[in-house]
Chain A
Amino acid sequence: MEITVLLFATLKDLVGTNKLLLALRDNETTIGDVRSALIEQYPDVKDNLKIALASINREFAFPADIVNDGDEVAFFPPVSGGCHDT
């Protein structure tokens, strides 16, 4: 199966793109597996990928959540929007 992976902020800059297609095995593939596949592909970004938040189809997702063919998966750092008071 194939999924779309979106990257934001630090991850987008480090990987060099905000969107990539990832081919994965068909059965019981989890967010944890997707993260591992990305780390294998981009070993230099390992530290950031390990702590990144994840989403499936625009909702927060967690390591054991199953990913299905055609899903939109995203990885991103903890959010920092709002005002500039941080």
Chain B
Amino acid sequence: MTLSDYPEFVGLPTDSIDHDAVIESITTPATGAVCLFTGMVRGETQKEGHLPSTDYLEYEAYEPMALAKMRQVIGEIRQMFPLVQGIAIYQRIGKLDVGQNTVLIACSSGHRDQGCFEAARYGIDRLKEIVPVWKKEVGVDGATWVEGEYKPSIEDQA
């Protein structure tokens, strides 16, 4: 992992993520752009294998490994997008109701064409591959754990 003087944050909060506070935390005097990806709990799904109607999600993490893997994602972003400045990755855990935010990836850079969009996109895609967090969909028709598809290989070790 590259050592960086730029701000880096990871976390697994149970409370709502304060987007403005995160943006402020990764804004440096040299920052001109922040790209922020946020996800939320969707109430309606039309996809096979999923409950059509979700009341809430229950997120569970293997916390120490999840935090370590979030730091690994930050290291990968630093390698791929060297002009990115601050990086924040937060995944909420616990019971989350429809409409609530669940995840946040935010990256800052001096200008918008210096990788902040691509870095945030990479961050969410990578989080969904290697950060050990699972969600259970709970609705009127029952509850079901959602299982991902990605099978880690030795290249996914830090």
What is A's interface to B at a CB cutoff of 8 Å? 6, 8-10, 12-13, 53, 55, 58-60, 62, 74, 76-86
Contacts and interface: CB of A to CB of B under 8 A. Distances in A.
Nearest to B92: A81
Contacts of A78: 147-151
Nearest to A74: B62
Nearest to B93: A81
**Across the A-B interface, the 10 shortest Cβ-Cβ residue pairs:** A83-B39, A81-B133, A78-B148, A9-B134, A58-B65, A82-B128, A77-B147, A80-B146, A80-B148, A60-B152
Nearest to B143: A13
Contacts of B138: none
Given A8-B134, A81-B131, A82-B133, A60 B156 contact: yes
25 contacts: A9-B60, A9-B145, A10-B145, A10-B147, A55-B62, A55-B132, A58-B62, A60-B130, A60-B152, A60-B156, A62-B154, A74-B62, A76-B134, A77-B147, A78-B148, A79-B130, A79-B134, A80-B133, A80-B134, A81-B127, A81-B132, A82-B91, A83-B103, A84-B39, A86-B148
A31 to B, nearest CB: 13
Contact of B147 (A55, A62, A80): A80
Contacts of A10: 134, 145, 147
A5 to B, nearest CB: 12
B68 interface: yes
Interface in B54-81: 54, 57, 59-62, 64-66, 68
